[in-house]
Amino acid sequence: MELQFLGTGAGTPSRERNVTSISLSLSEYNRGSWLFDCGEGTQHQILRTPIKPGKIEKIFITHLHGDHIFGLPGLLTSRSMNGATEPLTLYGPVGIKTFVETSLQLSGSWLTFPLEIVEITAGEVCNDEQFRVTAFPLTHPVECYGYRIDEHDKPGALDAEQLKADGYLPGPYYYDLKQGRSVTLDDGRVVNGWDYVGSSIKGRSLAIFGDTAPTAAAADLAAGVDVMVHEATLEVAMEEKANGRGHSSTVQAARVAKESGAKRLIITHLSSRYLRQDCERLLDECRAVFPATEMAHDFAVFVV
């Protein structure tokens, strides 16, 4: 899996950072991508990447502030004007359905693809063959969520050599055995896949926080994840101001990563007051607490 940051700024776009949107590529599963938030200008950012709007399967919205949703109407209508027919599911807090449907209706827009809008609460959001997504409530002036993405564990390696030694010659049924299923052969023999499959391979995990001040939910949202994405709107010297507006400082983001046992931290959602030359200082504030911290810039790609 790969994370690509389409916008890494807070509140308003700047010359160096657009507002929030993150893409998660699922190409290793022969699937398209998921989008987390869709701030104004997201479709313009996508034009500079390999992301195909028609292959976006799901969009997860953390909250309804404009810098996280104002790009939705444009992206949805452009997806239609380009002839997309693949279905898309949009998840977000209560109100996201009204926002999207009103925007499309008042602008006389139409969609060429099935759009399902799911208004979420805390808890499991979706669960498919490969992933489970859970929403956790955060601390912000409006209803806001963070999303935890857990990849299901994968079956271990199939011991093909032992199968052959036991008289089970290779065939299409090997696929079913690798999934741990029992197979009845043409000669009546029954083969239990679990007898020939090694230990399962633990799935990867990812936590993507929406905007938030320090919150108790962070411990469960990010517990032991491989990658944690967290806002770091302001430097530690401006921590009180950040918290007063429902945001976190650099050091607070790093503390969450350390205390939750995350393996890596990527900070994003930086105030437009910070320029490129300020980035190392902000990153150093995080690394003093949690050394495995990286900073996202627009179009940066991180492998999960």
Q: Does the pLDDT value for residue 198 go beyond 90?
A: no
pLDDT value for 16 = 93
The model's confidence at residue 256, banded by pLDDT at 50, 70 and 90, is very high
pLDDT value for 143 = 97
**Across 253-276, average pLDDT:** 96
**Residues 79-127: pLDDT tens digits?**
999 999 999 999 999 999 999 999 999 999 999 999 999 999 999 999 9
Q: Does the pLDDT value for residue 194 go beyond 90?
A: no
Is 67 among the catalytic positions? yes
Q: Does the pLDDT value for residue 158 go beyond 90?
A: no
For residues 50 and 2, is the Cβ–Cβ distance under 8 A?
A: no
**Across 47-53, average pLDDT:** 96
CA distances from 245 to 146, 239, 303 (A): 17, 10, 31
**Residues 165-178: pLDDT tens digits?**
998 889 899 988 88
pLDDT value for 169 = 87
Q: Per the annotation, does 187 bind a ligand? A: no
Q: Does the pLDDT value for residue 245 go beyond 90?
A: yes
From 37, 67, 128, 187, active-site residue: 67
pLDDT value for 180 = 81
Domains of the chain by range and CATH?
2-153+202-303 (3.60.15.10), 160-193 (no CATH)
CA distances from 185 to 151, 159, 285 (A): 32, 18, 62
Q: What are phi and psi of 240, to 5 degrees?
A: -60, -40
Q: Per the annotation, does 153 bind a ligand? A: no
**Across 246-250, average pLDDT:** 97
The model's confidence at residue 156, banded by pLDDT at 50, 70 and 90, is confident
Q: Per the annotation, does 269 bind a ligand? A: yes
Q: Per the annotation, does 65 bind a ligand? A: yes
pLDDT value for 107 = 96
Q: Per the annotation, does 297 bind a ligand? A: no
pLDDT exceeding 90 applies to what percent of the chain?
86
Residue 89 to residue 21: CA distance in whole angstroms: 16
**Residues 27-45: pLDDT tens digits?**
999 999 999 999 999 999 9
**Mean pLDDT, the chain, as a whole number?**
95
In what side-by-side order are the strands of the sheet with 88-92? 115-119, 88-92, 56-60, 33-36, 21-25, 2-7, 301-303
pLDDT value for 127 = 96
Residue 47 to residue 284: CA distance in whole angstroms: 32
**Across 194-200, average pLDDT:** 85
pLDDT value for 40 = 97
Q: Which residues pair with 230 in a beta bridge?
A: 267
For residues 131 and 206, is the Cβ–Cβ distance under 8 A?
A: no
